[in-house]
Structure 1
Amino acid sequence: CGQTVTVCATVTAVAPGSGTPTGTITFTGAGLNTTVPLNASGTACVTTSSLTNGTVTAVYNGNACLSSSTGTAPATVNQAASTTTVSVSPNPSVCGQTATVCATVTAVAPGSGTPTGTITFTGAGLNTTVPLNASGTACVTTNTLTNGTVTAVYNGNGCFKPSKGTKGVTVNNAQTTTALTITPNPAGCGQPVTFCAAVTTNAPGSGTPGGTVTFTGPGGFSQTVALNASGTACVTTTAGTSGTVTAVYNGGPCHSPSAAAANLTVNPAPTTLTAPPAQIRLRTNGTFVIPSMSATLKVTSSAAPLPGQLVTFKANTPLGPITLGTALTNASGVATLAPPMLPVPSTMVTATSYTASFAGTSCYAPSSATASLTLVLVPLLP
């Protein structure tokens, strides 16, 4: 197919006629339809590269001296061999990058012409059939190429045999960017705080990264969380101390690792200390005592009791404060001064109030409360 072929017809006079015929020959069939003049030898030829299987018919159209005649000859045209070459651009590429895969089919001599038909692309993430264009090329554009080998099979046609081409494809991991947010920031100690990492693919790559993010933070915090369908991972914890929070994307089969860091500021949580009124009582033995004295410590934002914290009690006299003692808060956040019937000096009778105070910690802010301290002389206590 496509090979250059010459078809000739020679006309001779039949005895008793003689001489060299003149005039024209009309060739039809096997892809021909043309009229050619005889040369001085009585021969007419046509040269073509578009011959097809069939029968060539040559009709001598006669002249004033010689009558017309017809001759035939079979024409066998075999399929020409073809060659398929494959190109990938860009190659190497990165995961999710748009790449174009092309296959060009050419005729192998002595065949000629531009092959028509289709190319089937397989391998490296491809499985599609594409028609050849007028130049004998078929292309497919995709952003889902994978590492491997692209195979392009020309499926042939009536004129050209099938052929196959291959091309190795390298697809590298796409680079990523991790962005970290902390909410709220600053946070109060003991307050819930959420760390979120959003992982995106850097151009020319595309697609949403998958995999996990490992969060680390102050106080030895460490937790690994899977990315959701949007490429985001979040974790909520309790704010303890200030420090650096780090989010490390651990990478995936298509994406490279990346990391981000941010500073978390944790402010001491406000506290509230409450104290009820207390009394100074006189005992029958002539001594002064305080039968009971307590204070309750809570976290202001949640009103949750704050156990295990030291509260100091002081009586407020005209001559200045007098320390009565200290006590730890219990599970209910209540600090109770002990022992019961706390003896106090006679100078305490001038006090009209007392103050309970919490000095605060790295996590909890200080607070205090002042309540009345009343001298009650009767009835006497045992």
Structure 2
Amino acid sequence: MRYSRTALRVSNRVSASKRIGEGVRAMKRIGENPSGHWKGITLGRIRSSRVFVLPLVLIGLLLAIGLAVSAQPYPVTVTITGDATDPSVVGQAYSVDFEVRITPVDTLSPWGTVTVSDGTGGTCTKTLTTEYYPNGWGSWCNLTSTSAGTKTITATFVPYDGNFTGGSDTETHVVNRAATSTVVTSSGSPSVVGQPVTFTATISPTSPGGGTPTGMVAFYAGTTLLGSASSASTNVMSFVTDQLSVGTHAITAEYAGNDDYVDSTSSSITQEVTKRLTTTVVFCADTPLIVQNTATCTVTVIDISPGTPSVPTGSVSVSVAPSGDGTLTHASHPLTADDGGQFTFTYKPTDGDNTPHVISASYNGDGSHLASSGDFSQAIVKRALDMEMTLAPTTAYVLQPVSITVHMEDDTTEGTPDSLSGLEIVLDNGGKSGTFSDDTPTLNSSGNCTVTYTPGAGDAGSSSAITTITASYEGSEVYAAKQLSQQLTVQLRPTLTTVEFNKTEGIYVYEPATFTVTVVDTAGTASDPVSPEGSITISAEKTFYGGTRGVSYSSDSTPDDYTHVWNYDYLWTALIAEGADYDVVTATYTPNDGIHLPSEGRYGKGVNRRPTEVTITCVAGTPTGFTVLAQVAEKAGVPGILSIPLGDFVMLVGEDLSETDVGDAPLASIDIVTELPIVSPTILYSPSDFIHVKSPGTPAEPCTKIIDTSGGGDGTTGGACADGCGSGG
């Protein structure tokens, strides 16, 4: 029980040592202050001379020194007067009351320290150094025991100086084990199968207990012991386990207690354990996969949860989108532990129209692993083709058949080539008018196709032009598109133009004639009739002297597929040359069919004036001469249109034989004056119509002059006699 604490007051009493000290100090002050006043201390109201004061002080000092030399330490008695809360529990603070007394009773106050211990490490202290408590003092301190059992409590006094003795006292005190509470926590919930989970138990003493409970803790999942943990120094103990199965577990911690603490069991906590996370990885080819080539693909199911990974088992299914565009092996596979979460399959794309092909793998999970899926976008490329195209010939005339052969081969080394039979080739001529025998031929089993191309009208331009032949393969689900072009030189077809007259000999003015202009295609074989179409231009007359010529178209025809004939009428109506000239007929063919080249032909034709004959008839004689009748006409049998000769009759007179107009053709009566009795005159027809030829005429019989013989002689002077003339008159 707790006693009342009453201090014993000590009035105006000091220890011997203290008296000695005060005496010494008093002496010193007297020496310093002969007036009888001490600094801070006045000896009553005494007023005396130095003679009386000094001896008294000396006497007091000697008495004090004597007493100090003869004094012994005062004995001290320590008594434990009570200990509250008995029994207590470990870690609980309890009060220990004690008294320190001087024996025999004295009014002095013992200064010093009291230390209370329980003998097993628990202590508390109380110290007195300044207060004055007559004949001793009483106090207490709080003691805490850290172990259970019956303790011997000892209170020990240690004096402040040598004026007092030490002392001690004992008392028994019962300390019981402290009650505890246990709390368990988890490092994380939910966790996954195989993931290490740390369960931590914290054991705390319940009030009024204290300290640090140590020992062993057992951890349970329901009623199943998971494991235990122990510590000799801390009240926090942990246990790590990765053996929890999938599900919900009630976790508790049971503290076993020890010599100082009572056992306790925690409330349960819920630990959710789920399946482990997985990821499914699909990988095929890191480069584009060629159609009809096989790739080996890998599916890997990976445990990605924290903790020690485990090998996923279960089934995996594989699919490809778009479906039907390829073939795969092992569309499903049962994973076993020996597979290590991985298996392979093959995939061969058969259709490259859609890219990429998305290859998906779905893992359905197992007892410890969650399902997952993954996919891989596999780039797909079509197979390549090599294309060749030949043209025979490479230079052709319009409408000349050209053989085109296209050959294709699989140009991809990887995988299996597909059949080329039936692949369609599209042929194009760049918009020219030529035609293909088949502009969408298909390849045979050897990868070939042959067609005929015929260049069309206009494809050669004005003479020659390039036609670009393009062969295109538009692609399939297996093969990529391919295109190739070749140039074909297309030329206009050559022609030969000839001019032929219906008469091989020369012709007369006004003799109607015909000629034909024949234009022949000389290029050779053609796919269609190539009779040249166009126009014929006949040149103007081409003679040395000129004249008037008429040419008129009469008709034309195409006697065969390569020939065109134009017919013309040909007639001269005037010829400047007095007799004959030479006409060059030039026919120029100008095509308008876009097929042929122009050409030109010539023909030289002799042209003659129409022959004439002059008839001279002696009509009558006159005394001065005679009269003749001159008549000109065309010669009989001259082909052509008869024409009346026009012009003049002339005679050659004088020594220079100059022509003298004597009449107009075609008929004239001409009086001829002559001295000769008989004359056979020559009269010349001189045409003025550019139609007829000059011609002379004489009478069949000489013309006779009328002679006046009445005077004798022949009526002449004889001046005209040229032979057999006498010298007379």
Normalised-by-shorter TM-score class: 0.5 to 0.7
Checking the alignment, whether the CA contact within 8 Å between 2:682 and 2:696 is kept in structure 1 is no
Is 2:608 the counterpart of 1:279? no
Which residue identity lines up with residue 266 of structure 1 in the other structure? V
- Measured after TM superposition, the shift of residue 99 of structure 1 is 1.6
Deviations 1:255-294 (A, max 9, x none): 444444444333453334456x663277xxx87764x834
Equivalent position to 1:121, from 419, 427, 430: 427
Is 2:460 the counterpart of 1:151? no
Q: Between Structure 1 and Structure 2, which shows a larger proportion of strand residues? A: 1
- Change in Cα spacing, 1:364 to 1:376, as seen in structure 2 (3 Å) is closer
Equivalent position to 1:265, from 590, 603, 606: 606
Which residue identity lines up with residue 634 of structure 2 in the other structure? K
- Corresponding residue number in structure 2 for 1:326: 662
Checking the alignment, whether the CA contact within 8 Å between 2:499 and 2:517 is kept in structure 1 is yes
Q: Secondary structure at the match of 2:520?
A: strand
Distance in 1 between residues matched to 2:556 and 2:481, nearest whole Å: 47
- Corresponding residue number in structure 1 for 2:667: 335
Is 2:508 the counterpart of 1:202? no
Is 2:649 the counterpart of 1:310? yes
Report the TM-score, using the length of structure 2 for normalisation: 0.33
Further displaced range: 204-213 or 358-367? 358-367
- Measured after TM superposition, the shift of residue 213 of structure 1 is 4.7
Report the TM-score, using the length of structure 1 for normalisation: 0.56
Checking the alignment, whether the CA contact within 8 Å between 2:618 and 2:699 is kept in structure 1 is no
Deviations 1:118-169 (A, max 9, x none): 3332324125333322222222224435342223343656755654433332
Checking the alignment, whether the CA contact within 8 Å between 1:79 and 1:161 is kept in structure 2 is yes
Distance in 2 between residues matched to 1:266 and 1:174, nearest whole Å: 36
- Change in Cα spacing, 1:218 to 1:347, as seen in structure 2 (3 Å) is closer
Is 2:443 the counterpart of 1:132? yes
- Corresponding residue number in structure 2 for 1:95: 398
Distance in 1 between residues matched to 2:569 and 2:602, nearest whole Å: 16
Which residue identity lines up with residue 3 of structure 1 in the other structure? Q
Aligned length: 301
Distance in 1 between residues matched to 2:552 and 2:428, nearest whole Å: 38
Distance in 1 between residues matched to 2:694 and 2:705, nearest whole Å: 35
- Measured after TM superposition, the shift of residue 305 of structure 1 is 0.7
Larger radius of gyration: 2
- Change in Cα spacing, 1:151 to 1:325, as seen in structure 2 (3 Å) is closer
Checking the alignment, whether the CA contact within 8 Å between 1:189 and 1:364 is kept in structure 2 is no
Checking the alignment, whether the CA contact within 8 Å between 2:645 and 2:691 is kept in structure 1 is no
Checking the alignment, whether the CA contact within 8 Å between 2:388 and 2:408 is kept in structure 1 is yes
- Change in Cα spacing, 1:165 to 1:293, as seen in structure 2 (3 Å) is same
Is 2:693 the counterpart of 1:364? yes
- Change in Cα spacing, 1:199 to 1:303, as seen in structure 2 (3 Å) is closer
- Measured after TM superposition, the shift of residue 215 of structure 1 is 3.6
The within-5 A match list for 1:25-44 is none
Highest RCO, 1 vs 2 (Cα 8 Å, sep ≥ 6) = 1
Equivalent position to 1:168, from 484, 487, 497: 487
Distance in 2 between residues matched to 1:365 and 1:289, nearest whole Å: 24
Checking the alignment, whether the CA contact within 8 Å between 1:312 and 1:325 is kept in structure 2 is yes
* Structure 2 gaps, min length 5: 1-289, 297-323, 328-344, 353-379, 460-465, 654-658, 707-729
* Structure 1 gaps, min length 5: 8-28, 33-44, 53-76, 315-322, 378-382
